[in-house]
Amino acid sequence: MATDAPPSTAAETPASGQAEQQPPLLSAVDPSASSSTTTSPPPLAPIRTERHPSSSSTASSFDSTCVTSPLTPGGAPGAPFRSPGAAGFGATGGGAAGVGGSGATSHDLSEELLAAGWRKFWSKRENRPYYFNKLTNQSLWEPPTAALPGVKRTLSDPAAAVPNHHHQHHQQGPSAPKRPSFGGPQALDAAWNFSVHSNCVTLERPPRRLFQPHPETELLRAQLIAKLRQHYSELCVSRENIQPPPDSFNRWLIERYLSDKGSDPLFPSDCDNELSYALFREIINDLPVRLCRPKLSADAKKQLYRYAEASKAMIESRVANPESRKIVKWNVEQTYQFLRQAKMPTYEDCLERLAHLKRTCQPHIEEAAKESVEKICTKLYHLSVEYAKKVRELQETLFKVTNPTDPWADLPPWSGDPKRRVRCYPVQICSPAPRPAAQQQLVETGCTDRMQFVRYGRDNSSQQGICRSVFAKLQQLYTLHCTEEDPSMEKFFPRLWCMLTRYQAFLGQQSQNTQAALPIPVFEAISRLFGVTFELFASPLNCYFKQYCSAFPDTDCYFGSRGPVLDFYPLEGSFEANPPFSEELMVAMVNHMENLLKEATGPLSFMVFLPDWRDPPTEALVRLEASPYNRRQTCVLPFEHSYRNGMQHCLERDEDLYVKSAHGTLIVFLQNDAGFMKWTPTSEKIKDLLIAFGQQSSHRRPQPQ
């Protein structure tokens, strides 16, 4: 099933007296967080919107119109949403339809509330009225007070008042108010748990100097990035006669962000080196043709023939030195001979030949194609720089920037304390004043049984669709983090639209591989067994915890993001890392983790999940295995586990939710002494973890009877 091998460096002595006392400040920020590793839900209580201790001073040190501060919710309870319970309450089926039996009595609701989807019903079980929103599937005991559903109302959800969600729908009569399904079928597989509080401690950080997201700039970015992808694709076809390697554009972006100092969050525009070696390697590797593992010997034979043909054609058509030309042609000739003579070559014979041909020809092919491929990479980068400039020009107009070289020049200095230890909190941003005009009026929405749509203006092409369960999740995240800053949630839709548009631009049509997530039972297990409360690689769309790092702080901070992982400096806490498949980012991640472990002031633990690629092993994998902080590692074998689909937020069918992993997954525990003491990866716990990896299929929605 799985291999489990403690590394040779595993012997550790417990750190004595190393764990620092938590300063009183921390318990003031989030009292519930001291027992934060538990996944059991907090008691239902009115939401408290405690500010981060510094945030009042932070906010007051700037013009309040300039600072957006999605505040830490402190001990605010998450909405009652737990995976195990979800399987129970989701089975109640489709929200509004189920409630209908009680008979609506909506006459005492205002026009505004009716238009927003609210209706009044009678609960036979509780013998009192309740309110149900057919657009969002929320239900409340108290009358709703505003058109947009807000957090206080979510927390008064009548179904949530029933303590045991597992048994709830069996106990209810047919006309009892059903638990909101938050988007129907997918709620059965609730993919998050916001009742887990953070155990991560960091230093206080100043607000980031970022422009707030604006629908106009996001729209322009989306249009320009589509154009950039198109250019890239055309360059690959016209110069090399290949389709772009799958996901290479996305990996290029991720790699570029590592050194980019430009001001645009999407378009790399100020990198150390304009040539991306990551992209160069990917394209070169697909020349002269892309090879994939053949299934049958006929496929293997065909690939061998194709590779030989393409090599010959390429070396003849490019500027290559005569020696290279001779070697390639001679090897191709040998291959033709082999194909002619061995009428029925075996699968293994063909693969062996192909490997030999590639080994001998590839260096010469690379030499011949080098200049042309470099041109693709640099052209792509130059276009990106140009597009970043266009977006910046629009931003300067929209935000009335008076000083384009430093739009933040007029803001008063930050008055926080960079030495203060605090419970981690989302990125706060300050942007040039004044805040853009009421953008929210420009966003329209609609929904179907499964999907929620948000669009900007009247243009259908700007429409974004997400599963309603994910929509409900994003509402929860937003209310958890922005209740104080935006109590009426009037900025929710524009911010949602901007975030969705950013991710759609970033991912393109299909980019599962940079977004695949761990199965839910694995998240439950790592939280329970190893005190994990935080994902280091995530997005608002795929996060399981309410605290996480993500690639885009400007759009994601309203939904709880702590910003990009390499800009995040935890001093203690227990973390999970499932990075996108970018070699450069993975190596940077290992470096970052080792530095953090060196500097940690309390227990620090990283559980890293990486593809077990060993042919040859990736640099990140080698570094992780050899790390002095590596306490233990284990591996789940290929095809014996699955990941959640990278497009889980907009899937049309539940059946596509899990994708079998064709590679093994290596799990490595990097911990300092105190982290090892506190969250020891014992054999017992590892066994539980591996069992959780095998459970994701049983976690799926039961088939309808």
Q: Which stretches of the chain bind ligand SAH, using CB under 6 A?
A: 254, 514-518, 535, 537-539, 542-543, 549-551, 564-566, 576, 578, 580
Cis peptide before 616 (omega within 30 of 0): yes
Residue closer to ligand SAH, measured from CB, 535 or 554: 535
Cβ neighbourhood burial of 431 (10 Å; 0-12, 13-18, 19+)? buried
d(CA 188, CA 89): 7
Tokens of 430: 């300050």
Residue closer to ligand SAH, measured from CB, 88 or 519: 519
Residue whose structure tokens are 């008042």: 161
Residue closer to ligand SAH, measured from CB, 381 or 503: 503
Residue closer to ligand SAH, measured from CB, 188 or 427: 427
- Sign of torsion, CA 421 427 433 439? negative
What secondary structure letter does DSSP report for 161? G
Q: How far is the CB of 432 from ligand SAH (least distance, A)?
A: 25
Bridge partner residues of 604 (DSSP)? 573
d(CA 182, CA 80): 12
Residue closer to ligand SAH, measured from CB, 377 or 647: 647
Q: How far is the CB of 679 from ligand SAH (least distance, A)?
A: 17
Q: How far is the CB of 453 from ligand SAH (least distance, A)?
A: 22
- Residues in CB range of 76: below 8 A, 6 or more apart: 47, 48, 49, 50, 480, 483
d(CA 519, CA 670): 21
Q: How far is the CB of 560 from ligand SAH (least distance, A)?
A: 12
CA angle 528, 625, 202 (to 5 degrees): 50
Q: At 477, phi and psi to the nearest 5?
A: -60, -45
d(CA 446, CA 666): 42
Written as one string, the DSSP assignment of 23-66 is PHHHHHH-GGGGGTT--SPPPP-----PPPTTHHHHHHTS-TTT
Q: How far is the CB of 628 from ligand SAH (least distance, A)?
A: 24
Bridge partner residues of 139 (DSSP)? 132
Q: How far is the CB of 572 from ligand SAH (least distance, A)?
A: 19
d(CA 689, CA 523): 9
Bridge partner residues of 606 (DSSP)? 575, 670
H helices of 342-462, in order, are 347-398
Rg (CA), the chain: 27
The amino acid at 477 = L
Q: How far is the CB of 507 from ligand SAH (least distance, A)?
A: 8
Q: How far is the CB of 643 from ligand SAH (least distance, A)?
A: 8
Q: How far is the CB of 191 from ligand SAH (least distance, A)?
A: 10
Residue closer to ligand SAH, measured from CB, 62 or 548: 548
Residue closer to ligand SAH, measured from CB, 29 or 427: 427
119: alpha, beta or left? (left if phi > 0; alpha if psi -120 to 50): beta
Q: How far is the CB of 516 from ligand SAH (least distance, A)?
A: 6
Residue closer to ligand SAH, measured from CB, 271 or 543: 543
- Sign of torsion, CA 626 632 638 643? negative
Residue closer to ligand SAH, measured from CB, 217 or 539: 539
- 41 neighbors 82 (Cβ within 8 angstroms): yes
Q: How far is the CB of 102 from ligand SAH (least distance, A)?
A: 39
Residue closer to ligand SAH, measured from CB, 516 or 651: 516
d(CA 577, CA 608): 5
- 31 neighbors 11 (Cβ within 8 angstroms): no
Tokens of 483: 């209740």
Q: How far is the CB of 549 from ligand SAH (least distance, A)?
A: 4
Q: How far is the CB of 238 from ligand SAH (least distance, A)?
A: 30
| Total residue length of the chain | 705
- 607 neighbors 669 (Cβ within 8 angstroms): yes
Bridge partner residues of 643 (DSSP)? 659
**Can you give the three-state secondary structure of 255-311, one letter per residue?**
HHHCCCCCCCCCCCCCCCCCCCHHHHHHHHHCCCCCCCCCCCHHHHHHHHHHHHHHH
Q: How far is the CB of 23 from ligand SAH (least distance, A)?
A: 27
- 555 neighbors 498 (Cβ within 8 angstroms): yes
Residue closer to ligand SAH, measured from CB, 184 or 646: 646
Q: How far is the CB of 646 from ligand SAH (least distance, A)?
A: 7
Residue closer to ligand SAH, measured from CB, 283 or 543: 543
Residue closer to ligand SAH, measured from CB, 287 or 650: 650
CA angle 506, 512, 515 (to 5 degrees): 70
Residue closer to ligand SAH, measured from CB, 416 or 580: 580
- Helix 297-317 × helix 322-341 angle, to 10°: 150
Residue closer to ligand SAH, measured from CB, 30 or 576: 576
Q: How far is the CB of 517 from ligand SAH (least distance, A)?
A: 4
Q: How far is the CB of 543 from ligand SAH (least distance, A)?
A: 5
Q: How far is the CB of 124 from ligand SAH (least distance, A)?
A: 41
- Between the CA of residue 463 and those of 34, 50, 269, 295, 396, what are the distances in Å? 42, 35, 28, 40, 25
Residue closer to ligand SAH, measured from CB, 91 or 566: 566
Residue closer to ligand SAH, measured from CB, 430 or 551: 551
Residue closer to ligand SAH, measured from CB, 123 or 248: 248
Tokens of 705: 């009877």
Exposure class string for 151-174: b at 16+ Cβ within 10 A, else e: bbbbbbbbbbebeebeebbeebee
The amino acid at 517 = A
